[in-house]
Every structure is written in structure tokens, then in C-alpha cells.
Amino acid sequence: MAKIILADSVHLVRAAVMALLRFEPDLEVVADTDRGDQVVELARRHGAAVAVIDYNLPDQTGADVASALAARYPSCRSLILASSGCRAHLTRSIEAGASGFLIKSTQAKIPADAIRRIEAGERVIDSELATAPCWGCATR
């Protein structure tokens, strides 16, 4: 069973993702947080395989968290969830060590499939980003 950490600034989003993943017999959410600075320790403490990270956490970006995770607990891969399809955020996240990047408006089944693929060593990028215009997001 793959152990998952969730880090999202919005409690309702975390709860929704946890609810979706409860239906997946091979995935288990072992911890959740609204702070990026807690992800590495939670991943280490629980032996997490994948951390699902909001790009816009209040204390740091998802890319920053992915970078810290890759440096300090590399056995845990990261999947970034973003509210918008900003290619600058995608590029920054992948360069920081994230294994995947999805837009939060994706279909409900896709995050579970992405987690499985990332755990298996694949990279997962939201297909919407291939054709979406970049809206000039303020990069952080």
C-alpha cells in the first residue's frame, strides 16, 4: 500500500482529496498539513511514497517543498497540484524535483492514477498544460 502525505492550504481541498483516495485500496493518506515546512518530517515519520502538494501554500511554494523533499527525503516523490495552468509554475516545480504536476480542476480519478504512476517512477504532467495559454501568472 502506498502511503501518501497531503499538503494543501485549504482544509476542504485536503478533505476532498482524502475522501477520493479512501476509495483506492492501494493508497493510504497517512498525514495531512496546511504547511510546507512540515512535509519532509511527515514524509519521513510515516515512510510516505508520495507527497501531494498544493503549489500555493502559505509559507512556501510547492516547488520549494518538492526541492526540500528531493534533497532531504528522496525516497518520497512529489505531485504538485495547482489552481491554474501556469507553465512557469510547472517548469519551476519539475526543475525543483517534482515528479508530477496537475491542475486541481482535473477529473476525480486522475490524481489516484497519477500517484500510482509517480510511485512507479514515472513523470506525470497535466495534459491541459500542453495547449493552455500562460496567463502571465505572478511567479513565486
87: confidence class by pLDDT, cuts 50, 70, 90: confident
Global pTM reads 0.91
What's the grid cell of residue 136? 502571465
Residue 78 has pLDDT above 90, yes or no: yes
Asked if 100 and 124 touch (Cβ cutoff 8 Å), the reply is yes
Residue 93 placed within a domain: yes
106: confidence class by pLDDT, cuts 50, 70, 90: confident
Residue 138 placed within a domain: no
Residue 60 has pLDDT above 60, yes or no: yes
Residue 139 placed within a domain: no
Provide the percentage of residues in the chain whose pLDDT is more than 90: 76
Give the mean model confidence (pLDDT) for residues 75-101. Answer: 92
Task: Please give the pLDDT value at position 75.
Answer: 96
Residue 140 placed within a domain: no
Residue 114 placed within a domain: yes
Distance from C-alpha of 7 to C-alpha of 20, rounded to nearest angstrom: 15
CATH number at residue 16: 3.40.50.2300
Question: Which structural domain range is residue 19 located in?
Answer: 2-130
Residue 36 placed within a domain: yes
Q: What is the DSSP letter of 126?
A: -
Q: How many domains does the chain have?
A: 1
For the residues of the chain, what is the DSSP string, one character each?
-EEEEEE-S-HHHHHHHHHHHTT-TTEEEEEEES-GGGHHHHHHHHT-SEEEEESB-SSSBHHHHHHHHHHH-TTSEEEEEESS--HHHHHHHHHHT-SEEEETTS-TTHHHHHHHHHHTT--EE-GGGGTPPP------
Residue 77 placed within a domain: yes
Residue 96 placed within a domain: yes
Give the mean model confidence (pLDDT) for residues 88-112. Answer: 89
Q: pLDDT digit string (tens) for 88-99? A: 889 999 999 999
Instruction: Look up cell 491554474; give the residue.
Output: 84
